[in-house]
Amino acid sequence: MKNLEIKDLSSWPIDVSTRPLVIAGPCSAETEEQVMEAARGVKAAGIQIFRAGIWKPRTRPNSFEGIGAKGLIWLQKVKEEFGLITATEVANARHVELALGAGVDILWIGARTTVNPFAVQEIADALRGHDIPVLVKNPINPDLELWMGAIERLHAVGLTRLAAIHRGFSTYQKLKYRNDPQWQIPIELKRRMPQLPIFCDPSHITGDRDLLDEVAQKSMDLNYEGLIIESHCKPEEAWSDAKQQLTPIALKELLANLVLRDPEAPNELVDSTLGELRHLIDDFDQKLLELLENRMQVSKTIGHYKKENNITVLQNKRWGSILEKSMENGKKKGFSEQFINSLFKAIHQESINQQEEIMNS
């Protein structure tokens, strides 16, 4: 895939001398007083970009869906009084028109919009000729192509100051976090679009202010460029997503406690040591592939036997036994249940695919 010409964060109307770049403010603009109080707190925390949701796409009707366009006037006052850069979410062409008219500096596209190529294209067309910074949240479902497609649609109309926001993915499973991070997806996005800055949204990943620090730290360990965090002066009174917002003071403490590591080796000795260890990893990876190849050969032999004896490919009892034993052994070896579950489901699916080919040959 051809690399998109995306400008780095130094081209944005911000100071990028420190990492991470932080965007903070309340989930929703509720009242003028609330917005100004939050902006004052964000400014005192040393943050230069203030976010507030003006329009809120909610899962169910009759929920608070945002204060609407009058909130844009409050964002203008934030800029005038505190000198903060402003950011808000847009979900259609009308939102874009109103936000640009109010002088909002940075826009983002939410997860429920990213999932819809028609909506993204409408926003892209409305932004044609305005090279404003735009961030794109991952779609609610774990679909990397949709995420990349949204970024490509924006780039196609001339936008070059683009970034991604990793906010986690919806799941029916009850997990520790509100949305499953699935870190491998943004990692793959960065591999395919290495020039694209990535922000982490720990507020939406966790859904719990008490878990924000661990997710924010992990994103820094993965060398994300920034964070977008919801901050409310009175989180318990917030009109939306109260549990995941934290006060500006708590936000300042969270940022102060982040450990920022160098993405490059500091000297030749460390670089040499890493090289040796990575060589070992490469050897183990090769051996893993060889073991998987041997396993699939046995699976193919079983497939031929099933065909000869008119036996179905899927044997639920056998598969349940394999997964149960693997989970038990994996736990003993210190692996997470999620990892073992995903690994052996992938291996099992490939075995099924191989045997189905034999059945149909």
Give the tens place of pLDDT for each residue, 193-233. Answer: 999 999 999 999 999 999 999 999 999 999 999 999 999 99
Indicate the pLDDT class of residue 2, thresholds 50, 70 and 90.
Answer: low
Q: Which of 46-60, 84-98, 302-316 has the highest mean pLDDT?
A: 84-98
Indicate the pLDDT class of residue 274, thresholds 50, 70 and 90.
Answer: confident
pLDDT above 80 for 280: yes
Which amino acid is residue 17, in one-letter code? S
CA distances from 329 to 30, 284, 342 (A): 51, 19, 15
Residue in the block written with tokens 């997990």: 175
Taking only the tens place, the pLDDT of each residue in 116-152 is 999 999 999 999 999 899 999 999 999 999 999 999 9
pLDDT above 80 for 36: yes
Taking a C-beta distance cutoff of 8 angstroms, is the pair 22, 229 a contact?
Answer: yes
pLDDT above 60 for 1: no
With a pLDDT cut of 90, the percent of the chain lying above it is 85
Q: What is the pTM of this model?
A: 0.83
Taking only the tens place, the pLDDT of each residue in 54-83 is 997 766 776 777 899 999 999 999 999 999
Give the count of alpha carbons within 13 A of 165, CB side only: 27
Q: Which of 39-43, 157-161, 213-217, 283-287 has the lowest mean pLDDT?
A: 283-287
pLDDT at 56: 78
pLDDT at 58: 67
What is the third-level CATH fold of 9-257? TIM Barrel (3.20.20)
Taking a C-beta distance cutoff of 8 angstroms, is the pair 6, 189 a contact?
Answer: no
Q: Where are the domains of the chain?
A: 9-257, 268-359
With a pLDDT cut of 70, the percent of the chain lying above it is 98
Higher-confidence residue: 60 or 322? 322
Mean pLDDT of 86-90: 98
Spell out the CATH class of 268-359: mainly alpha
Which residue, among 78, 22, 87, 28, has the nearest Cα to 48 in the 3D structure?
22
> Distance between CA atoms of 223 and 330, rounded to whole angstroms?
29
- Is the CA virtual torsion 173, 179, 180, 184 positive or negative? positive
Higher-confidence residue: 123 or 175? 123
Higher-confidence residue: 263 or 237? 237
Higher-confidence residue: 1 or 91? 91
Burial of 297 (0-12, 13-18, 19+ CB in 10 A): exposed
